[in-house]
Amino acid sequence: MEPRPPAWPLLCLLLLLCSPCCPGVGAQSYTDFKLLQPQGPVVVTTRETLTLNCTTSESGPVGPVKWLKGWGNGNETIYDQKGSFPPRVMRVVNGSSTDFTIRIRDVRIEDAGTYHCVKFRKGTFGDVLFQHGEGTEVLVHARPSEPAMSGPRRRAVPGQSVPFTCSTGGFFPRDIQLKWLKNGTPVRAEPPLIGPETPNSSYHASSTVQVTLRENDLRSELTCEVQHSTLAAPLTRTYALGRALRVPPSVSVAAAPPGAVEVNKTVNFTCRVQGFYPGAVTVTWLENGTEMNAGSAPQPTETSRGLFELRSTVTVQAGEEKNGSRFTCRVLHEDQEPISSTGTLRVAATAQWDPSDGSTGDSKNLIYVAVGVVCTVLALLVIAILYLIRTKQSKGKSSPSARLHEPEKSSGTTTTQESDPNNLTYADLNFAKEKKSIRRIIELSQQSEYACIQSNSSSSSSQQPTSSDNLTYADLDMVHLSKAPRRPPPRPEESSSEYASVQIQRQ
């Protein structure tokens, strides 16, 4: 039986083969190798560049250096010396065997975490962890985006409360402030809404405020102000309140000349549209409800208050057939319900007052004047009629006149009445046609006077009447006696006169 060869050479060969995977056995311990990762926590802002420092000594085992994000089963390789890394990552010193500092460009929120610089040793079945740094914590902050503002979907009239919203996003950390200012003065609003609540992700926030609009807000500004730790100065966004405001116009129609006009004269109806905003309006003229051609549309003009106004005029010929025609100015503003005003044409020949027509206010004055003139004429007629009646009554009751003719004394013989009519004494009395009885005349003693006619004797000695029968009386109602000169017998006068002839016989 042949003797066996010794087993120790085979054992030595096995040890040599196993030396790469058995540390400390047939290999160096690399006790002088050092890996330095000096950085502590690092704060970086999105879209910036992150630098991670790592250096090693040259005396180290064969194997690559890597940068890992996180530790344990959930780690992620950020840089590999073999050349496997994302395009945003690069070495600061290419080809260096001791400086493994890297840079990450365009940092994002998801880049936040803890980074480790690790030295690996090459093994039979792959790279084996040899040494690693203490890790560098990276905090990524994100600036909020430019704020966006929105107002109401439709314009609101003065006095109406409308909402305004301000929003921003993409910021980290969570803490943020949103403030509202109107013309630089703070406006109270509810705290902003912030979300979402997920780790290593950016946040967004929104705030809403209610503003009651006023007519003088046409040039006012509402400002949203955003404050965050990543900002050196607040971000602001301004909203012009005039964009949310609508001031409806006032519409009126006036005629020139006012009141009723003569036939075939021209009348200008002017529509005044005042105090509206914004300045876009549509003006339409209607004649008795039918649209008419008013020519080119006028352009509005802006006032010092920021409101607008315009005037639109149509010219109408005042024909008789147009008397009472109604001309309507209809204004459409911001797609709202139309606003209208109407004027009425009055022709002088047949003008009638329309109480609903505000443009014929002067016609009322003309009517009042006409009524006053008519009343004055009627009063004058009444006075004239009364005067005529009084005059007629005065003639009926006029005092009769007495004309007495006494014959001249004659030295001759007594003549008869027929021989000389001048020897007759007449009492010409103008009586009323109604004959009065002596009794009635006597009864009206307070209104009657008596004229006594007494004849004297032709003898040289004057004798007193011996008897009352020798007296002749004329009963005269309110008469004045006058002795008329000798004249022929009176002619018959108007039918309203009567004559009484009184003859006095001389003794």
Mean pLDDT, residues 183-205:
88
Q: Is 21 left (phi over 0), alpha (psi -120 to 50) or beta?
A: alpha
Residues 291 and 212 occupy one common structural domain: no
Query: Residue 397: its pLDDT value, please?
Result: 53
Please determine, for residue 425, whether its predicted confidence score (pLDDT) is greater than 70.
Answer: no
135 and 167 inside one domain = no
Look up the pTM and report it: 0.55
pLDDT band at 352 (very low <50, low <70, confident <90, very high): very low
The answer, yes or no, to whether residue 402 has pLDDT greater than 70, is no
Residues 126 and 164 in one domain: no
Burial class (CB in 10 A: 0-12, 13-18, 19+), 178: buried
Is pLDDT above 50 for 376? yes
Please tell me the least confidently modeled range out of 150-159, 225-234, 242-251, 450-459: 450-459
Show the tokens assigned to 466: 């011996």
Give the mean model confidence (pLDDT) for residues 230-252. 95
Asked if 137 and 161 sit in the same domain, the reply is: no
* CA–CA dist 258, 249 (Å, integer): 24
Q: Count up the domains in the chain and report the number.
A: 4
Output the domain CATH number for residue 165.
2.60.40.10
Same domain, 31 and 125: yes
pLDDT of residue 498: 46
**Residue of higher predicted confidence among 342 and 32:** 342
Average pLDDT of the segment spanning 247-264: 93
Task: State the average pLDDT over residues 137-156.
Answer: 94
Of 216, 244, 272, the residue at which a domain comes to its end is: 244
Q: What is the mean pLDDT of residues 463-469?
A: 43
- Higher-pLDDT residue of 38 and 360 is 38
231 and 259 together in one domain? no
- 443 belongs to a structural domain: yes
At 499, the pLDDT band (50, 70, 90 cuts) reads very low
Statement to judge: residues 33 and 133 lie in one domain: yes
Domain closes at, from 141, 162, 180 = 141
Tell me, yes or no, whether 50 and 124 share the same domain. Answer: yes
Share of the chain above pLDDT 70, in %: 68
Selected residue with higher pLDDT from 464 and 333: 333
pLDDT at 95: 85
| pLDDT tens digits for range 282-330 | 999 999 999 998 888 889 999 999 999 999 999 999 988 999 999 999 9
Instruction: Specify whether 176 is located in the same domain as 216.
Output: yes
**Residue 213 is assigned to a structural domain of this protein:** yes
Domain membership of residue 299 (yes or no) is yes
- Report DSSP letters for 195-262, one per residue: E---TT--EEEEEEEEEE--GGGGG-EEEEEEE-TT-SS-EEEEEEGGGGB-BPPEEEEEEES-S-B-
CB 271 within 8 A of CB 284: no
Say yes or no to pLDDT of 261 above 60: yes
33 and 132 co-located in one domain: yes
The lowest-confidence range among 46-55, 88-97, 480-489 is: 480-489
pLDDT for 364 equals 61
Name residue, tokens 């010193």.
93
Closest CA to 190 of 212, 166, 168, 170: 166
Q: Mean pLDDT, to the nearest integer, of 342-355?
A: 71
Structural domain boundaries enclosing 236 = 148-244
> DSSP states of 309-344 as a string?
EEEEEEEEE--GGGTT-EEEEEEEETT---EEEEEE
Residue 82 domain-assigned?
yes
Residue type, 15: L
Residue 394 lies in a domain: no
Query: Nearest-CA neighbor of 272 among 241, 310, 298?
Result: 310
Domain end residue (candidates: 110, 141, 172): 141
Identify the weakest region by mean pLDDT among 185-199, 277-291, 392-406: 392-406
Tokens standing for residue 424: 């007759």
The rounded mean pLDDT for the chain is: 77
Distance CA 233, CA 146 (A): 12
Question: What φ, ψ does residue 298 adopt, rounded to 5°?
Answer: -75, 155
Say which DSSP state 156 is in: B
Q: Are residues 37 and 137 in the same domain?
A: yes
Residue 178 forms part of a structural domain: yes
What beta strand segments (E) does 303-460 contain? 308-317, 326-333, 339-344, 401-404, 425-427, 448-454
User: Which position has the higher pLDDT, 95 or 403?
Assistant: 95
Q: For residue range 64-119, list pLDDT tens digits in order.
A: 999 999 988 888 999 998 877 888 999 999 888 899 999 999 999 999 999 999 99
